[in-house]
């Protein structure tokens, strides 16, 4: 592994107004010295743009605070699917470390809006890879997803498992990202690391995620649907744990080596980042409603049982996600560990403050 010091570097974060992206930029402001951080986001309306604008305001305020540690921060409203925009950023700023978090997310949305996934997740990622080829970088880190495990029966999911059975277009695009990155690593010796994230949650998260959608509905007195009759297991991973993993991995790139044929061996790796402790969905929802009552989002006498409905599995969903994180622990000395109740408490308190 090649050690990379992030101080004095130019770091390019795509999807920087997104949930993980904005939290990563915040962390870099705190940890990195004498760095230039470039963020890009297309600010699309897949979910409430006000939430993305809120995250950007937070970043602007923090950037001013950390300016004394010589952090230079630029935000660009643009789309990674626009090749001219990406090439222009690489030409102007010449980033040494690139973290590609921009993507069209969501399993269910990929069934009704496939075009968005081809544009962002395939064409957009291709533009990033081409730019990394033409303006060599020290490390490309990119988001993959636990969705690539598809209908695999073996748990916990290991990065050594075959992942050839996607059950949604979203999953297929993320697996494609891993294949494209491998090809570019092999052909052009670009150190790249893919990260398979497992059900990320936390304050100011994505409203299309179950915990956020459940909260919105419960607050309005609507009924929530719990799929697969509650028999789903999810490896919920708190956003701070995801960011910790990303920052550690940014600083350790796969090593460039030559094979016996004199050609480069691809400096390529993929890791799971998950809590390594799947939770039953019914238990998850029970803890969520307890924390929503504690934060006074819901009244103390809220009749939770009257507002939940057990329904069959949806197309594109899988019954279980469960991360084997042994490789992450071995190579980077890190394992996500935030207890579910702590994470949901932080979300509930943020929700109360944000929505009143």
Active site residues: 170
Q: Which residues of 240-267 are buried (b: 16+ CB within 10 A; e: fewer)?
A: bbbbbbbbbbbbbbbeeeeeeeeebbbb
Q: Would you give the end-to-end CA distance of the chain in angstroms?
A: 47
Distance CA 47, CA 5 (A): 35
Distance CA 274, CA 105 (A): 17
User: Contact at 8 Å (CB) between 331 and 252?
Assistant: yes
Q: If you write DSSP's letter for every residue of 68-104 in order, what string do you get?
A: GGT-EEEEEE--TT-HHHHHHHHHHH--SEEEE----
Among candidate residues 167, 171, 148, the one with its CA nearest the CA of residue 159: 148
Secondary structure element (H or E) that encloses residue 52, with its range: helix 49-66
Distance CA 224, CA 233 (A): 17
Distance CA 18, CA 41 (A): 8
Q: What are phi and psi of 272, to 5 degrees?
A: -85, 140
Which pair of structure tokens corresponds to residue 353?
């403050």
């Amino acid at each position: 592994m090649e050690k990379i010091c992030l101080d004095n570097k130019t770091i390019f974060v795509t999807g920087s107004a997104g949930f993980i992206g904005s939290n990563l930029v915040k962390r870099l402001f705190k940890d990195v010295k004498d760095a230039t951080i470039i963020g890009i986001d297309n600010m699309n309306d897949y979910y409430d743009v006000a939430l993305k604008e809120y995250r950007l305001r937070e970043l602007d305020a923090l950037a001013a605070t950390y300016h004394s540690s010589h952090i230079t921060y630029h935000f660009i409203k643009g789309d990674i699917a626009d090749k001219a925009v990406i090439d222009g950023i690489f030409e102007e700023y010449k980033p040494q470390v690139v973290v590609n978090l921009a993507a069209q997310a969501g399993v269910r949305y990929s069934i009704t809006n496939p075009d968005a996934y081809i544009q962002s997740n395939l064409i957009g990622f291709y533009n990033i890879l081409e730019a990394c080829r033409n303006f060599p970088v020290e490390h490309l880190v990119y988001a993959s997803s636990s969705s690539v495990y598809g209908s695999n029966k073996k748990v916990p999911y290991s990065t050594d498992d075959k992942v050839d059975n996607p059950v949604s277009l979203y999953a297929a695009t993320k697996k494609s990202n891993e294949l494209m990155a491998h090809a570019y690593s092999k052909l052009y010796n670009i150190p790249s690391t893919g990260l398979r994230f497992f059900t990320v949650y936390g304050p100011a998260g994505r409203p299309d995620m179950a915990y956020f959608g459940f909260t919105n509905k419960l607050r309005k007195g609507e009924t929530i649907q719990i799929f697969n009759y509650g028999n789903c297991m999810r490896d919920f991973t708190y956003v701070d744990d995801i960011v910790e993993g990303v920052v550690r991995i940014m600083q350790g790139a796969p090593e460039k080596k030559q094979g016996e044929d004199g050609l480069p061996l691809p400096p390529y790796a993929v890791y799971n980042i998950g809590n390594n402790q799947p939770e039953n969905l019914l238990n998850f929802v029970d803890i969520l409603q307890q924390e929503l009552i504690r934060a006074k989002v819901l009244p103390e006498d809220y009749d939770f049982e009257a507002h939940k409905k057990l329904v069959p599995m949806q197309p594109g969903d899988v019954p279980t996600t469960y991360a084997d994180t042994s490789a992450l622990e071995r190579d980077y000395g890190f394992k996500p560990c935030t207890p579910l109740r702590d994470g949901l408490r932080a979300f509930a308190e943020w929700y109360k403050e944000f929505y009143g």
